[in-house]
A and B are shown apart, each in its own frame.
Chain A
Amino acid sequence: MSSSIRREVSSDWDPLLAMDHNMNFIGSSGFPPFIAGVVNSSNDDGRNDQVPSLSCFGLVDSPEFPSVADNVKGKKRKGFTDFGASHSRSPVIKTQKIDEKKPKNDNADAKKEDYIHVRAKRGQATNSHSLAERVRREKISERMRLLQDLVPGCNKLTGKAMMLDEIINYVQSLQRQVEFLSMKLAAVNPEVNFDVEQILSKDILQSQDGGNSAALGFGQAMTIPHQQFHGLMQTEMGICNMPNSGGILRLNNSEISQMAQIPTNVWDQDLQNLVPMGFIGNPPIESKEMNGSMKAEL
């Protein structure tokens, strides 16, 4: 994934499945800014096992060039010019409309590879930059459509600017709501003793059942989560020492399995160590930090 020598520039005759699939977005781990979609080449032979990488579409001047350009087929008049030094072979310049040269990397490889094949439509520029730009724009517009479904009241609005406005307003209002509700909870909390809260948790979850479609049958016993979250629950049990631990939090089997799927190593430690520290240790410090959005400068 890291070796990003560009593939050969010529187009393929291949069954250019209009778009190829498997854009593996590099998700949460490390944010390589230059890779919009990751290519996993599964070339076995030694000929063309350089992995092309899609350059970051946001960076216009990147010296890496998108492998999107590789597979443009269609009404091209000229070939691509050589952009960088890291070519595996010389660029193919075509003067006719139809390319004749078949690349040496065969069709099988192209099928296995995971990058986007973009077909330049008629009348559109076939410059590799503009192709990449177009891919990026389409990706962004698709995401904006997704967001449109999430944010209420966005159906009528079209255009990136207005929708972004709306989205930003919505996120801000949600965050303000969280803050307001937490203030309310803080005011209410000291008056309510522990037992009532536990009982309430059952009610809350059941009431949310009507709201959501999640099936919330909670089964018996705190002992069940105790098995699943060893470290976590031990601290909890130590603190909570419920006289009426019996019917309070009842977890269903499905719920338990869901909760058990949390990678326990990392997250439990976090929850144990950080949350109490965060709550007890640093309230005066955090009172300054936590205004508005927590994510101010990262």
Chain B
Amino acid sequence: MATLRRLRQVPRHLLVCEKSNFGDDKSRHRHLVETHYHNYRVSFLIPECGILSKELKSLVMETGAYYFVKNLPLHELITQEFINTFVKEGSCYALSYNTNIDEDNTVALLPNGKLILSLDKDTYEETGLQGHPSRYSGRKIMKFIISIDLMDLSFKLDSKKYERISWSFKEKKPLKFDFLLAWHHTGVGDSAMMSYFSSYGIQEHQPKVAMSTMTELQCPVLQSSELRGKPGAACSPGELLDWLGAVFSNAKLNNESNNFISTYCCPQPSTVVAKACLCTITGFILPEKICLLLEQLCRYFDEPKLAPWVTLSVQGFADSPVSWRENEHGFQKGGEHLYNFVIFNNQDYWLQMAVGANDDCPP
């Protein structure tokens, strides 16, 4: 019987649905966007829209470059110069590239100055640094997390702690990773990062943008006040999330219930829109840019529009060691941690945050 039960089990996943209004002072939308640090894919969908407005288009095209450095030794990220130039001036983000969080050692730098290392047991023991076991270890602990506060360290450069970390990264266990880097700052000088890491062959990359227009698209009917949906009147956030996935995957939305191949259809009640604009940006995208995009989409309804709502979805890197804030993120069967805004024309919004098995509940 236990075997039969296990055959029907699925990995635990969570979906948090929130409803609020952008005009509410206590609305946490900015905070939640800004604390989701490593974003891989940002996409938005605007029903009843054929061409993007000038402002939106320029925002999308100027999402900002990110950088790629190969074989960067870890001790370069704890130098006083690096901390003063990038970590203290603006928000610096880094994530090790091509490292699987469930198999390899992974490193991430958060804009608050925390350097997070997710290491396997052997590497952790070889570094000789203080950390804690991963929350999702199971019975045998195979993963350890070390968290180094660079802001705190930079004030005590001659402390024993800094000496030990420095010794560990330079002599005891010199670790090297390929990194994706991004830096948000208010000053001028976009090439500061390029010149700082020029000896490591740093490359600049632009996020990829894909825009398309769909015609005769079936869209679910939503009511901003009905967060659980209303049978016959409005769809629920879960149905909307699946529908969005189907649209972005180009699945057919109007299959018959007796179709052999697929019976998926748009959740009911639904309406058909003449055209809809889809845009996807992929790369290493800064939360600050996503905030700007969100604000611009809110302003979409400043003038009367046919669309009742627009959506903005953001997907995080599956191999990031953190999801929101410093919540640990893991990869069991899938490493999803994503969120989706539904912005209504009355400035109400829905926010859905979804995480997989080895993840804490989104804040």
Partners in one complex: no
